[in-house]
Amino acid sequence: MGGYYILIGAIALVSWLVSNQLKRKFAKYSKIQLRNGLSGREIAEKMLADNGIYDVEVISTPGKLTDHYNPKNKTVNLSEAVYNQRNAAAAAVAAHEVGHAVQHAQAYSALGMRSALVPIVSVTSGMSTWVVFGGLILGAAAGVGFGYWVAIAGLAMMGFATLFSFITLPVEYDASNRALAWLKNKNMLSQEEYKGSEDALKWAARTYLVAAIGSLAMLLYWGLQVFGGSD
């Protein structure tokens, strides 16, 4: 189990470093006020209109970094700071979330795959490690048999979470690319503002990359415990 705790610690450390850097970047670019004076809400509404999307509502949601697009009720949910503020960070986040709305409107395949996995992952992700661990304990107590197959079931649950993490990568990167292309092509930002928005979105994407690598590392670790212990 020592290797498990080392792996958990390493993943947590890298995740913390990237998350911390993301917060610093957003704090930095929140100080760059937009010359056009548009708020995050206004940026989002304009991008929706420019893409011919009129059935999506832009609303404010409590908290920090709670921004998301909800395909079920077609809402772009912007955190209070992003919704109201008029800076490079707010523009980046607002345009990124609208990027997801554009994906939805255009039936972007990776977004559809991720949405299909949400119900499965929401049920299995929290229990997968415990199922694998329980299966290993049963296997150690009774030998290869029922416990082994319990552990395999846990690995399958973990596999769905890992698949979800990797499908999320093209979804997030594509939404950022759509956002940046629109901001640039419509001359929404000055050169300094655009560079800030671009850098902020790059660091946001790295949080998803770290999560995907961490999920794969956990799957491989437990896979080695299960299949290595069954020889």
Q: Which residues are identified as catalytic?
A: 97
Identity at 203, one-letter amino acid code: W
Q: Which conformational region is residue 38 in: left (phi greater than 0), alpha (psi within -120 to 50 degrees), or beta?
A: beta
Long-range contacts of 20-28 (CB under 8 A, 24+ apart): 21/203, 22/200, 22/203, 22/204, 22/206, 22/207, 25/89, 25/199, 25/200, 25/203, 26/65, 26/89, 26/200, 28/196
CB atoms within 10 A of CB 192: 12
Buried b or exposed e, range 8-43, using 16+ CB within 10 angstroms? eeebeeeeeebeeebeebbeebbebebeeebbbbbb
Q: Which conformational region is residue 187 in: left (phi greater than 0), alpha (psi within -120 to 50 degrees), or beta?
A: left
Whole-angstrom distance, CA of residue 176 vs CA of residue 54: 21
- CB under 8 Å to 173, separation ≥6 — which residues? 205
- CB under 8 Å to 168, separation ≥6 — which residues? 114, 208, 211, 212
